[in-house]
Structure 1
Amino acid sequence: MRSLQDALYNWLTIKIVSDERPDDTAAAETKNFFQQILKEDHGIEEIEVKKDGVMYILHYRKDEEWKKTVFPCELIEVMINQINEEPEKFPNYPE
């Protein structure tokens, strides 16, 4: 994945799903996949996530320097909202 912004977006989106569905192994595996991309391809060492009501604020450490990016909650929560609205379309596949 070329763009750090895209990798952060994908990781955060699936992290929200994984956090809400802790038994969903597919979500956990996908989150881990994006964490690996962030670490190996982009050198991200740590990520802290905060939510202020309208935005997710990510502070991340890259090359020993803390940086920040934000995403609108509405954008990040599209996937989990869709899953919650139509759960029959998104079965949980625990191991």
Structure 2
Amino acid sequence: MRSLQDALYNWLTIKVVADARKEDVSAKETTQLFYEILTEEHGLSNINIKKDDTMYFVTYEIDQTVKQSRFPIELIDVMIEQMEAEPEKYVNYPEEEEGPNN
């Protein structure tokens, strides 16, 4: 992923979904994938999120410097709002348990 801003946006959007849908294994795995992109490809550490009435603020360290990006709530929450509005389109399949045939 080339742009740090895009990686932050993607990570934050799916993190909001994963936090709201604790049982959603795919959302958790995707959140971890984007987190690894942030830390391994872009060199971020100490990533934190804060939210106010209009924005999400993502604070992080890069090259020993603290930086912050901000994203409008409506931009980030669009995915979870769509999932909540049409849950039949976003079925959560439970994680398969390993059994004797796996």
> Which range, TM-score by smaller chain?
over 0.9
Where does residue 83 of structure 1 map in the other structure?
Answer: 83
Where does residue 7 of structure 2 map in the other structure?
Answer: 7
What secondary structure is seen at the aligned counterpart in 1 of 2:94? coil
Question: For the residues of structure 1 that align with 2:10 and 2:4, how far apart are their CA atoms?
Answer: 10
What is the Cα deviation at residue 94 of structure 1?
2.2
Q: Provide the alpha-carbon RMSD of the alignment.
A: 0.6
| 1:20 corresponds to 2:20 | yes
Where does residue 70 of structure 1 map in the other structure?
Answer: 70
**Which deviates more from structure 2 when the two are superposed, residues 3-12 or residues 37-46?**
37-46
Unmatched tracts of structure 2, length 5 or more: 96-102
Larger radius of gyration: 2
What is the Cα deviation at residue 93 of structure 1?
1.8
What is the Cα deviation at residue 41 of structure 1?
0.7
Question: For the residues of structure 1 that align with 2:93 and 2:46, how far apart are their CA atoms?
Answer: 29
What secondary structure is seen at the aligned counterpart in 2 of 1:32? helix
What is the Cα deviation at residue 90 of structure 1?
0.1
- The number of aligned residues is 95
Identity of aligned residues (%): 57
Structure 1 residue ranges, 4+ long, deviating more than 6 angstroms after superposition: none
Q: TM-score, normalised by structure 2?
A: 0.91
Where does residue 52 of structure 1 map in the other structure?
Answer: 52
Q: Deviations over 1:31-73 (max 9, x none)?
A: 0000000011100112110001100011111111110110000
Task: For 1:19, give the aligned amino acid.
Answer: D
Task: For 2:38, give the aligned amino acid.
Answer: L
What secondary structure is seen at the aligned counterpart in 1 of 2:47? strand
Where does residue 100 of structure 2 map in the other structure?
Answer: none
